[in-house]
Amino acid sequence: MTIVEYALVSGRTPDWIIDGGHWGNNDANMKLIGTGVEGSIPEGTITYTLEELQTRQLAIHAQEPRKKQPVQADSATVTDDEVKAEIKEWVDARS
């Protein structure tokens, strides 16, 4: 499995993504995380190890802190350790 960062193409997930739509950022250049089809991932595509993906998500979380589910006005913020654990669980489920 290769973890990749990608953008939608004309509003659709690229064909080379087999499990997409995860861990998006919310800036003007929306990028999502997914897993790519081995041998079909375009050159130049950003790929991540577990640790690199955790670092990416912690950086996003620092700018846009996520709330614990279910999200309500008084929901606590997810901790950095919880962010890392969620990413590890996601990666482990796909390994």
DSSP structure string for 43-83:
TT--EE-HHHHHHHHHHHHHHSPPBPSSP-TTPPBPPHHHH
Rg, C-alpha atoms of the chain: 14
CA distance 36 to 15: 9
User: What was the pLDDT predicted at 5?
Assistant: 95
Residue-wise pLDDT tens digits, 16-66 = 999 999 988 877 678 999 999 889 999 999 999 999 999 999 999 999 888
Q: Lowest-pLDDT range, 5-9, 15-19, 65-69, 77-81?
A: 65-69
For the entire predicted model, the pTM comes to 0.88
What is the pLDDT confidence band of residue 68, given thresholds at 50, 70 and 90?
Answer: confident
Per-residue b or e along 10-29, where b marks 16 or more CB atoms closer than 10 Å to that residue's CB: eeebbebbeebeebebeeee
